[in-house]
Structure formats: structure tokens, C-alpha cells
Amino acid sequence: MPELPEVETVVRELRPQLVGRRLRGLRVSRFPLRREWSKAWAKLLHGRKVSAVRRRGKWIILDLHEGAHLVLHLGMTGQLTVKRSGAPLDAHTHLIVDLDRGQKQLRFRDIRRFGSATVFQDANQLEAFLTKTGLGPEPFDVPASYWRERLAGTNRCLKAVLLDQRVVAGIGNIYADEALFQAHLHPTQIARDTGREQAARLQRAVVHVLKRAIDCRGSSIRDYVGGSGRKGEYQNEFLVYGRAGQPCPRCHTAIERIRLAGRSTHFCPHCQKPARANVGISAKRT
């Protein structure tokens, strides 16, 4: 599933291609996405210029003149790109928006159809929607005190806390594993048992990993491509994620994989020793 670095890459690459462009004809496929498309939304979009392209968590937001907003989520396999109108139409393309005089198109392709495209009439509707999703702050803007308080206030393991979008927005499975490794913290460690220095180390690791992944245009494991259609490269720098059985880049101990918080979790049992026995954490080896 595209996470913060992938979504940020799409936003950065779409921004120069969309800002100032006017949305014209719009077509949707007969196969609904996670949220069914409303015919009324086409009227709200038609003829409006794109004033900004931005990200909130894993949501892509196109701000339009006169206040409307087109909000998209890539789900697990979504691809949002700008292409020439004459370019072959890929299978599983579910939304096409003509730009300006129709020479180029914004296309949303989603094989598994877990993504979504929604139109909000004004900023109030948009903010009400984002509030309802319960999104936490962006990881780059989190005060150290907030970070420590959220860790201290839960009996969940660190991996589960990092995946919780209500705590911090945008972190997913890949970057949670990579950040925990860089912070030398075991994924099953109880969050409330995390000391001040460990919490600071984890916060720095999260920011470092996400920024580096953005520099690499995200990670392409299966379907992800950026807004220009190019794949990301951060998968070439994974230290633990997807490397079960391979040697740790630090100590050469075999990387292990367990099932934790409903997700495959990768770690080095030597470099990420738990601070103490983690009673009550259920982790299934895979």
C-alpha cells in the first residue's frame, strides 16, 4: 500500500502538471471504487482550475478555484498520473479527467479498487471529512512532548502505535519496520515502557526514514508509480523490510519475520533486543 513517501512523491510530481490547469470532461468506469462516484461531482469539477495539489496523511487533495476539492486515496494499488490523451488506456483505469483543451488527462488506475475519489463542495466539508478520519499530526511536525505522551499512554506495542494513523499520519508497514530498526527498538516493545531517550531516537528515525524515502521517490514493490509514471527506488535501500532470512546489514544475524498488529513485521533479533519481556504481546512467526 502506498505510504507517506509514495503519496508525497505523487503530489510533488503532479503539482507542476496540474496547478493552473482547468478540469474539463470527466469519465468514470462502470466499476465503483471504495466510494461510489456521484454524478453531481462532475458538475462541481467541470471548468474549475486547480489552485494547489497537496497531501494530508495518505490523502491527495486537489484544491480548486471557488472552493471545491477533489480528494483521492490510492488504496493498495492506485496510480494517479498525467498522460497524453492519445496514450493507450491501461486496464483498470477508473477515472479520467481532461485537462484544458483535452491534450492531456489526469488518470486514476486502481487494480484492486480499494482507492477512492471524492469531491467536497467547500473547505468546511473537507475539514469535517478529515476530522472524521481521525488523522493525527504529520510526522515532521510532532513535538517531542506529544510523541512521549502518546507512547506513555498505551499498552500497545511500538509497531501498532506507529501504524495507528490517529497517532501520526502517513506511516505504514514498510517505514515502521525500517524506523524501528534504525532506532534499535524491538517492534513488540510495549510503548509505555519506552524511555525518553528511546522515544527521541524513534522519532528521529521515523523522520529520517521518511525523508530519505521521499528523496528516493518512494518504494516500488508491486504496483506503485509516481505521478510521472516512474517507479520509486527506496526498496533498494531496505535494511529489514522484506529481508526475512537474510543477514542483518549491521551484525549479520538473520532477519526475522513475525505477524504483529495484523501485519508482517521484520526485525533483527540481535540489534533490536526487547528492553524487557513483553507480556501480552501476541506475535506469530512466519
Catalytic residue positions? 2-3, 58, 263
How many residues are given for the chain? 286
- Can you spell out the DSSP letters for 14-58? HHHHHTTPBEEEEEE-SS--SSPPPHHHHHHHTTPBEEEEEEETT
Contact 145, 204 (CB under 8 A): no
22 closest CA partner among 89, 102, 86: 102
In the numeric block, which cell numbers belong to residue 209?
Answer: 526514514
Mapped onto helix, strand or coil, the DSSP state of residue 1 is coil
**Both ends of the chain: CA-CA distance in Å?**
20
